[in-house]
Copies of this chain bind each other. A is one copy, B any other.
Amino acid sequence: MSAIEQKLAGLGLALPAPRSPVANYLGAKRSGALLLVSGLVSSVRGAVATEVTPEAAKRAARDTMLDLLALVKREIGDLDLVVSVEHVRGFVRSAPDFMAQPAIIDGASDLVVALWGEAGRHARTATGVSQLPYGAAVQLEMILRLRD
């Protein structure tokens, strides 16, 4: 088991079965030293604040990051090949008055910082939107740097 997966187990978490793209695109594309990871949506559905609580949405962001990591492992074979997390982008399906998108996306950011430490700290943008694929509460994508 890789060092990163051991850390994950130490947090009481495990990688889920990787999900496959739902349309004509790759789960991730290698671009030089970077891995561009496609957007995945949470299995939790609904607008945050009215249909999904902020607490549930933050957990959904963490779980969607686990889905992204499972996808990355399938693509590159071993999460220990990840040198750093460069960027995370999060879209939060927001009820009209919901304005705390950054706190939701922290569910994802906290996890990668716990796993990779300083190298897991990343640039980020968290944005509110009115709708997401399948009515999901959260959508996440990221850019990773891989070992040469």
Which of A's residues lie within 8 Å of B, judged by CB? 21-29, 31-34, 36-39, 84, 86-89, 91, 94, 96-103, 105-106, 109-110, 113, 121-135, 139, 141, 143, 145
Q: Assuming A29-B122, A32-B33, what are 20 further A-B pairs, CB within 8 angstroms?
A: A23-B106, A24-B106, A25-B121, A25-B123, A26-B122, A29-B84, A29-B86, A29-B121, A31-B34, A31-B145, A36-B86, A37-B123, A38-B124, A39-B124, A39-B125, A94-B130, A94-B131, A99-B131, A123-B141, A127-B133
One complex includes copies of this chain to the number of 3
B residues in contact with A132, CB < 8 Å? 99, 101, 127-128
Report the minimal beta-carbon distance from A69 to chain B, rounded to whole angstroms: 15
B residues in contact with A103, CB < 8 Å? 23
A68→B98 CA distance, assembly (Å): 24
Nearest-CB residue, chain B, relative to A139:
B127
Whether A129 and B126, one on each chain, are in contact in the complex, defined by CB atoms closer than 8 angstroms, is no
Contact of A126 among B39, B123, B143 (CB under 8 A): B39
Whether B133 and A126, one on each chain, are in contact in the complex, defined by CB atoms closer than 8 angstroms, is yes
